[in-house]
Amino acid sequence: MRPMLATHGRHVPTGAAWTHEVKWDGVRALTDVGAGGLRMTSRNENAITIAWPELATSPLGDRDLLVDGEIIALNDRGLPDFRTLQDRMHVRRAATAARLSREIPATYMVFDLLRLDGRDLAGEPLDVRRERLAGLGLDGTWQVPAAYDDGPMLFDATLQQGFEGIVSKRRDSRYVFGERSPHWQKFAHRHRVSYVVGGWRPQEGTTDRLASLLVGEPTPGGLLYRGRVGSGIGPKQGRALTELVTGLGRDGSPFADEVPRADARGTHWLEPVLVVDIDTHGRGYDRLRQPSFQGVRTDLAPEDLLP
């Protein structure tokens, strides 16, 4: 079985017909508990139970149920972060999974109930399914996240708090396995943030055509590396940036922390004086997510960005 998926929404819906939830930045998982025990599967129907030993025991014992949810883990800023799970996602050795469950503990955010005690609930309205789910009293490694009536409020709140976004669902929506439904709509946040340029990389196969920037965040402890940005830098932007970085070269990295080898290879290091705006998916992460170059900020100096 594949889970039901949301479509990309354009405007957060309002009104009593909709309910709204936090969009969790984790690993989607259907969990089936029945006579054969507990089995977790990914959105691609791969068996993933062994990777999550702390979640692989139902808090309801052997009670028959099928639930949908998101496996999450928190980063060092207390936010759900998909990258914190990357070392765990593909583990297939029980001993390794057990060790990682102690180092990177996960929580299962259960947001839908599809079968209970042998009764198929997928055809029931979402409101009915959520009411039955709330009545199970899940609390611990399995949790039921809150739902909200005010979608725009939740969108603004999650934007400020640094969450991935929200999902809006029609209260009368039925659950259709494998369907990407307009009755579920997702709204991911993107953020425009200013960063300092610390280096540039040429287009592959060339030595002088600027194709991407290495950027960092100024802190009292120095310029901390945040990632490489190539999206949004076309030929026109590349030529303009080339003029701006001419004369700013230096021998070594200006970043206070280590730049990954894959990013450092072939980089031309720069004095950290140029400020640019980057559009990025999510905030509060050590590395930019799906970054896109937006422009140069001639009105800002690096010291203006210090916290």
Please tell me the distance from the alpha carbon of residue 251 to that of residue 49, in angstroms, as a whole number: 49
The two structure tokens encoding residue 196:
């300092």
Please tell me the distance from the alpha carbon of residue 161 to that of residue 287, in angstroms, as a whole number: 17
User: What are the backbone dihedrals phi and psi of residue 157, each rounded to the nearest 5 degrees, phi first?
Assistant: -65, -45
CATH number for 5-188: choose from 1.10.3720.10, 3.30.470.30, 3.30.1380.10, 3.30.70.1230.
3.30.470.30
Local structure of 169: helix, strand or coil: strand
Paired residues of 268 in beta bridges: 200
Length, in residues, of the chain: 307
Predicted confidence pLDDT, tens digits, the chain (307 residues):
899 999 989 999 999 999 999 999 889 999 999 988 999 999 889 899 999 999 999 999 999 999 999 999 998 888 888 778 878 888 899 999 999 999 999 999 999 999 999 999 999 999 999 999 999 999 899 999 999 999 999 999 998 888 889 999 999 999 999 999 999 999 988 777 889 999 999 988 777 889 999 999 999 999 999 999 999 999 989 999 999 999 999 999 999 999 999 999 999 999 999 999 998 876 666 788 889 998 888 778 898 888 7
What pLDDT score was predicted for residue 284? 62
Domains 5-188 and 191-305 share a fold: no
Active site residues: 23
CA angle in degrees (0–180, nearest 5) for 34-142-72: 115
Please tell me the distance from the alpha carbon of residue 1 to that of residue 29, in angstroms, as a whole number: 11
| Angstrom distances, CA of residue 141 to CA of 33, 52, 101 | 16, 11, 11
Question: Domain residue spans in the chain?
Answer: 5-188, 191-305
> Which residue's structure tokens are 């960005």?
305
Architecture of domain 191-305: Beta Barrel (2.40)
Please tell me the distance from the alpha carbon of residue 29 to that of residue 26, in angstroms, as a whole number: 9
Please tell me the distance from the alpha carbon of residue 107 to that of residue 113, in angstroms, as a whole number: 17
Threshold 0.85, pTM exceeds: no
Question: Which H/E stretch holds residue 127?
Answer: helix 126-134
